[in-house]
């Protein structure tokens, strides 16, 4: 007959009680540490680095900016409130639909508060508009002053909305342009009248090239997808900036 260890109900009950108490104490300590760290972060870490802090166009780009812009952009009212609080003015764009796959809903066009887009009739989803405004204010303008010694007075673009699939193919995923959730930036006009071109100046070893690389790299901290001449030949003359799809920075 196999040996069976004797049972001691009172000892086993005491052991279970001790194990439960140890777990409770451990959880209390863990949450206490988490609370202290959150309190310290609340008081010492800038808001652009904290995902639970409200997004502001006025704040510099931080580690939480991209996630907060994407989240805020999903709420039309909250998105427009952030733009308004940041001094941006805009007008609403009528909804459009084509071929059952291309739909522009809740889009807007900027009318002031940042360097104007050229041409001006660019419809953007609020999420894309929010990212563009942060990029213009916190990346493009600082880079222009520090690298070129001039302000950017206009941003040249090839448009936002285009009812098509990626690269205009007959099949495959629908482009972010099909919902006005992307912007193709071709260049930047400076206060002195000079124009910095992605096509002509990307490989410039001087200030023009450094400026373009800097605004591309800064865009990767704001937009979900950033494609540049480093990506492929199709982007040799522009930056593709969008707030959808898979994260990619090239």
Choice among 18-32, 156-170, 223-237 with the minimum mean pLDDT: 18-32
Q: What is the mean pLDDT of residues 42-69?
A: 91
**Count of the separate structural domains present in the chain:** 1
Q: What is the mean pLDDT of residues 226-249?
A: 95
pLDDT over 80 at 250, yes or no: yes
Q: Is residue 149 part of a domain?
A: yes
Q: Is residue 90 part of a domain?
A: yes
Model pLDDT, residue 60? 96
Q: Is residue 32 part of a domain?
A: no
Question: Residue 101 has what DSSP assignment?
Answer: T
Q: Is residue 170 part of a domain?
A: yes
- Which range of residues forms the domain containing residue 199? 49-249
Q: What is the mean pLDDT of residues 97-110?
A: 86
- Helices 126-135 + 65-73 axis angle, to 10: 150
Q: What are phi and psi of 180, to 5 degrees?
A: 60, 30
Q: Is residue 18 part of a domain?
A: no
- Round to whole Å and give the CA distance between 79 and 136: 17
191-220 in b/e form (b: 16+ CB < 10 A) is eeeeebbbeebbeeeebbebbbbbbbebbb
pLDDT over 90 at 157, yes or no: yes
Q: Is residue 17 part of a domain?
A: no
Model pLDDT, residue 15? 62
pLDDT over 50 at 34, yes or no: no
Choice among 132-141, 153-162, 166-175, 213-222 with the minimum mean pLDDT: 166-175
Model pLDDT, residue 38? 46
pLDDT over 80 at 58, yes or no: yes
Relative to beta strand 117-118, strand 152-159 is parallel
Angle at 47 between CA 246 and CA 79, to 5 degrees: 55
Cα 130 to Cα 32, 71, 181: the distances in Å are 36, 11, 11
- Quickly state the pLDDT bin for 238 (edges 50, 70, 90): very high
Is residue 111 packed enough to be buried (19+ CB in 10 Å), middle (13-18) or exposed (0-12)? exposed
- Whether 155 and 185 have beta carbons less than 8 Å apart is answered as yes
């Amino acid at each position: 007959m196999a040996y069976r260890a004797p049972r001691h109900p009172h000892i086993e009950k005491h052991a279970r009680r001790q194990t439960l108490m140890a777990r409770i104490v451990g959880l209390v300590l863990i949450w206490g540490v988490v609370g202290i760290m959150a309190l310290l972060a609340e008081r010492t870490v800038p808001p652009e680095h904290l995902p639970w802090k409200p997004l502001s166009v006025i704040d510099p780009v931080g580690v939480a900016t991209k996630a907060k812009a994407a989240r805020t952009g999903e709420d039309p009212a909250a998105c427009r409130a952030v733009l308004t609080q940041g001094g941006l003015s805009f007008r609403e764009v009528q909804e459009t639909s084509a071929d059952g796959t291309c739909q522009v809903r809740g889009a807007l066009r900027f009318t002031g508060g940042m360097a104007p887009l050229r041409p001006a009739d660019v419809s953007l989803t609020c999420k894309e508009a929010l990212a563009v405004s942060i990029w213009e204010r916190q990346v493009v303008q600082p880079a222009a002053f520090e690298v070129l010694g001039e302000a950017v007075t206009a941003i040249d673009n090839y448009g936002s909305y285009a009812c098509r699939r990626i690269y205009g193919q007959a099949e495959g995923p629908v482009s972010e342009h099909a919902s006005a959730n992307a912007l193709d930036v071709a260049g930047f006009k400076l206060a002195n009248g000079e124009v910095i071109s992605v096509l002509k100046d990307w490989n410039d070893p001087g200030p023009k090239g450094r400026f373009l690389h800097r605004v591309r790299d800064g865009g990767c901290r704001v937009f979900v997808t950033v494609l540049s001449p480093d990506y492929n030949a199709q982007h040799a003359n522009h930056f593709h900036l969008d707030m959808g799809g898979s994260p990619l920075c090239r």
